[in-house]
């Protein structure tokens, strides 16, 4: 009898998982940036203001890099979402953070690995997540759990030009735009949502979207 109950429980669970995927769709689209992407300015008197204006002093940053810093995500998905078992990574490589923008689900552990032949010191003053990993050498990796939603700016205390962003999101329905401007968010439950963007130097955009029970919802986003 106990075995039958156990089998029945697994059958119900499997049905729920399959049903959820059956009544979900994909949100996809293309992003175009048709305006100048200006270097951001920190407010007067802001703490660490010199590093907030980093954006390496290049004559112009390649558009594919700007696109790859863009996160597209669904804001108002309902439910409780367990963080992934697999950790995310934000490395230090060639005296820079890789990637520059890292979106994660709340509760995700991020490993900060030093791949350079010099010491780094990774830290953040962000109210979302304050931490200081101290100085550590080549090959060392130190973890941080991001347990609150929001944007966390990350710096290196040794190399003042280094800065990156961890974008902590409340659900797993998000995507980083690729270098050609494409994004794809799979397995979104059918329903009406608000689609939003985040970029370190561009104003956010919002779209009301409706995801059908199957198929693709196509949304094109243009920054003019």
pLDDT band at 99 (very low <50, low <70, confident <90, very high): very high
Q: What is the pLDDT of residue 203?
A: 95
Tell me the average pLDDT across 167-180: 97
Q: Is 28 helix (H, G, I), strand (E, B) or coil?
A: strand
Q: What is the pTM of this model?
A: 0.81
Q: What is the pLDDT of residue 213?
A: 86
* 7 phi/psi in degrees, rounded to 5: -60, -40
Q: Do residues 171 and 77 touch, judged by C-beta distance below 8 A?
A: yes
Beta-strand relationship, 150-156 and 221-223: unpaired
Q: Do residues 151 and 166 touch, judged by C-beta distance below 8 A?
A: yes
* Residue 71: Cβ within 10 Å count: 22
Q: Which of 98, 113, 90 is nearest to 68 (CA)?
A: 98
Q: What is the pLDDT of residue 215?
A: 86
Q: Do residues 111 and 89 touch, judged by C-beta distance below 8 A?
A: yes
Q: Give CA torsion, residues 149, 97, 183, 179, to 10 deg.
A: 160
Which range has the top average pLDDT, 15-19, 205-209, 214-218? 205-209
Domains and CATH numbers, the chain: 1-79+184-224 (no CATH), 80-170 (2.60.40.420)
* β-sheet with 101-105: strand ranges across: 101-105, 163-169, 150-156, 120-124, 131-136
For 49, which DSSP code? H
Q: What is the pLDDT of residue 71?
A: 98
pLDDT band at 22 (very low <50, low <70, confident <90, very high): low
For 157, which DSSP code? S
pLDDT in tens, 42-94: 433 334 544 444 444 444 578 888 999 999 999 999 999 999 999 999 999 99
Give the chain's mean pLDDT.
85
pLDDT above 60 (res 184)? yes
pLDDT: is 192 or 50 the higher one? 192
Task: Establish whether the linkage from the previous residue to 98 is cis, with ω within 30° of 0.
Answer: no
Q: What is the pLDDT of residue 62?
A: 83
* Residue 141: Cβ within 10 Å count: 14
């Amino acid at each position: 009898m106990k075995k039958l109950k156990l089998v029945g429980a697994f059958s119900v669970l499997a049905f729920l998982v399959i049903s959820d995927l059956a009544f979900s769709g994909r949100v996809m689209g293309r992003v175009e940036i048709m305006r100048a992407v200006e270097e951001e300015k920190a407010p007067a008197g802001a703490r660490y203001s010199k590093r907030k204006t980093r954006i390496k002093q290049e004559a112009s940053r390649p558009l594919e890099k700007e696109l790859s810093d863009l996160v597209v995500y669904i804001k108002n998905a309902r439910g409780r979402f367990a963080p992934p078992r697999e950790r995310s990574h934000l490395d230090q490589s060639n005296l820079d953070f890789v990637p520059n923008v890292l979106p994660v689900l709340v509760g995700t552990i991020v490993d900060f690995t030093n791949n350079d032949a010099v010491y780094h010191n990774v830290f953040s003053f962000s109210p979302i997540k304050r931490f200081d990993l101290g100085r550590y050498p080549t090959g060392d990796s130190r973890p941080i759990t991001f347990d609150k939603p929001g944007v966390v700016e990350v710096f290196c205390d040794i190399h003042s030009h280094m800065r990156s962003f961890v974008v902590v999101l409340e659900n797993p329905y998000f995507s980083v735009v690729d270098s050609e401007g494409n994004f794809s968010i799979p397995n979104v439950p059918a329903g009406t949502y608000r689609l939003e963007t985040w970029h370190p130097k561009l104003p956010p955009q919002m779209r009301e979207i409706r995801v059908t029970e199957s198929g693709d919802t196509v949304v094109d986003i243009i920054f003019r």
